[in-house]
């Protein structure tokens, strides 16, 4: 256990539950020094290494999540679920998740990460987050050879929120079919199809409470030297250091190559075949 993980607690409990006898309560407490902007706090559950899926294979993941009250409203780095590629000992750099469920200013959103590809159209009227058809709001990070795109957001997403993604890329396409549920203390059941490909043939499908939220295609994930052969999923609260305790509940994790095993809705599965 590293220093970041020492901030976390993990409890199987039955007071807060969605279905069945209980749910997993994951919390992070304050541990970072105020002056340490690089410090993080996490309480995460990872897939076991022998059970992970090859990076180039498509797979469905599902889980239910409930944010504890109060839902954080500050401008801060919060993550509740991450999909990543394994990192080998010879890889150089700090690789962000190729898909992540995030929270900032009390608003939930998904981001997609891939290797940096220069260029793209200008935002409409130079307004961040407003991109021409066929392109996607993105945050270019050439210093890390990465770029992060907005994959899905809720109806409460604003122009101010869009400033997080100031540029546009045509290397990632996003079709948002329905808004992401607003961040609240309600249970939300997610189903996600993951098929990363940093060369342009990647695809992600996002469902929330059996509602089709978004389709993402194009450059998804990292292809750097030294990265591992598998993808993996981890869930649990992860944040930059903060002074309070943050709790998230999780239930009903499942994984399968078949949509029906995860989404459990034949009609919904039929629209993404």
pLDDT averaged over the chain? Answer: 96
Instruction: Please give the average per-residue pLDDT across 92-102, as a whole number.
Output: 96
pLDDT in tens, 56-78: 999 999 999 999 999 999 999 99
Residue 234 bridge partners (DSSP): 46, 82
Spell out the domains of the chain, with CATH numbers in brackets.
Answer: 49-242+252-270 (2.60.120)
Please tell me the pTM assigned to this model: 0.97
Q: What share of the chain is helix, strand, coil (3-state, %, to 5)?
A: 10, 50, 40
Q: How far is CA 1 from the centre of its chain?
A: 23
Region of 47 please: left (phi>0), alpha (psi -120 to 50) or beta: beta
């Amino acid at each position: 256990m590293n220093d970041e993980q020492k901030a976390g607690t993990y409890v199987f409990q039955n007071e807060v539950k969605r279905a069945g006898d209980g749910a997993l309560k994951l919390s992070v407490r304050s541990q970072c020094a105020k002056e340490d902007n690089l410090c993080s706090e996490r309480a995460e559950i990872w897939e076991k290494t022998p059970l992970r899926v090859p990076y180039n294979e498509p797979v469905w993941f599902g889980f239910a999540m409930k944010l504890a009250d109060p839902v954080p409203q500050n401008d801060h780095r919060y993550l509740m679920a991450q999909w990543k590629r394994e990192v080998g000992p010879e890889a150089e750099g700090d690789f962000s998740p190729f898909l992540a469920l995030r929270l900032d200013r009390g608003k939930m959103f998904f981001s997609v990460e891939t290797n940096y590809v220069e260029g793209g159209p200008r935002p409409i009227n130079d307004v961040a987050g407003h991109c021409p058809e066929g392109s996607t709001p993105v945050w270019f990070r050439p210093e890390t050879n990465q770029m992060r795109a907005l994959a899905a957001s809720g109806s409460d997403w604003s122009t101010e929120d869009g400033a997080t993604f100031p540029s546009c890329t045509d290397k990632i396409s996003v079709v948002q079919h329905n808004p992401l549920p607003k961040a609240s203390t309600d249970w939300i059941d997610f189903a996600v199809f993951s098929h990363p490909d940093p060369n342009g043939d990647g695809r992600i499908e996002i469902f929330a409470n059996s509602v089709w939220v978004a389709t993402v295609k194009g450059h998804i994930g990292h292809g750097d030297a030294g990265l591992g052969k598998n993808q993996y999923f981890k869930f649990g609260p992860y944040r930059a250091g903060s002074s309070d305790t943050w709790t998230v509940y999780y239930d009903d994790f499942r994984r399968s190559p078949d949509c029906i095993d995860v989404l459990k809705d034949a009609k919904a599965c039929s629209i993404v075949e």
